[in-house]
Amino acid sequence: MYEIPAPMLAKSAAAVPDDANKPMLYEPKWDGFRGLIAWDGHALEIGSRGAKPLTRYFPELVEQLPQLLPGPCLLDGEIVVATGSGDQRLDWEALSQRIHPAASRVAKLAAETPAMFVAFDLLAEGDEDLQPLPFRERRARLERMLAGARSPLHLTRTTDDPDLARRWLAEFEGAGLDGVVAKPLDDPYAAGKRTLIKIKHARTADVVALGYRIHKSGSGVGSLLVGLYGADGELRQVGGVAAWTDAMRRQLVEDLAPLVERDESGEAVTGEGERSRFTGAKDVSFVRLRPERVLEVRYDQLEGARFRHTVQFERWRPDRDPRSCTYSQLEVVPSYALSDVLA
């Protein structure tokens, strides 16, 4: 079996890079689980971005990929799940449900919402380690290897045209994709290093502070929970703001103290946050705040009625009425057929 390396990572950029002195190849950024497929001709293993193997969670890929791969290889790519009738789109929630301890549940979901693997790099072919080769050579060999691939194995599309990459950034979000990745054509595979460039959508929204969790150190605010008002007038939690400095974490406790909800004895009222398969036994309780303070945050996209990723603090908005912080301010992304992205 191949030794599965730490995957090559990306750093964020505000715009699609276009440097004549550093040729790039651009790809869609798939919104799924990073997966490294190791197939030695006998057994198939799926490595992840972290230390947790993904093999047991995707039995359909373990069964089908060996039949589609022409020989032993080590692939880098993304595991995704698509749902919907007609024009499907990527579904993060359906994908995340696959991380389940019960094999029976995993098998049921594998049949109902089967996963696909979108390959974007070739790290080994047969006995040959391809990681030292420049990406342009690895990509060429990947294209030859997967020329006849069929679902659930896909080869990601690419372009060397930055203008087309910018169009993908605008259009492919409608199919559930996450942005665009730029890869230097002359670079070797740098396991665990942020040498790629990712460009994601940057938007802002005004949200209401509704609670906070104490930092894991036990001092200051770890994350600030935020919400938006729905059409029914109910305030719904939509995500959290984190990545505060030590000084800001401590200052926030003081600044938010007047807003803390308290019971008759003067004790702070706590709420129970939403628990997911990723939080496990982690404490998700939070200190409740009266919904009176508004802040502006930066976000990239929505997943259903929530922000897909942790959002970033931009500024306080004392000029805004909390009741004005509704879903209507958020951008509605035109739909786009996933089949056109995969084509």
Please give the positions annotated as active site.
29
Tell me phi and psi for residue 154, to 5 degrees. Answer: -130, 150
CA 15 vs CA 11, 18, 165, 186: distances in Å: 12, 9, 10, 21
Tell me phi and psi for residue 234, to 5 degrees. Answer: -85, 140
- Rounded Cα gap, residues 37 and 48, in angstroms: 9
Contact assessment for residue 143 and residue 56, using Cβ atoms and an 8 Å cutoff: no
- Rounded Cα gap, residues 117 and 34, in angstroms: 10
Contact assessment for residue 96 and residue 44, using Cβ atoms and an 8 Å cutoff: no
Which tokens in the block code for residue 250? 């401590």
Q: Give me the residues paired with residue 158 across strands.
A: none
Which tokens in the block code for residue 49? 């971005």
Long-range contacts of 316-323 (CB under 8 A, 24+ apart): 317/206, 318/293, 318/294, 320/206, 320/294, 321/294, 322/208, 322/229, 322/291, 322/292, 322/293, 322/294, 323/229
Contact assessment for residue 222 and residue 287, using Cβ atoms and an 8 Å cutoff: no
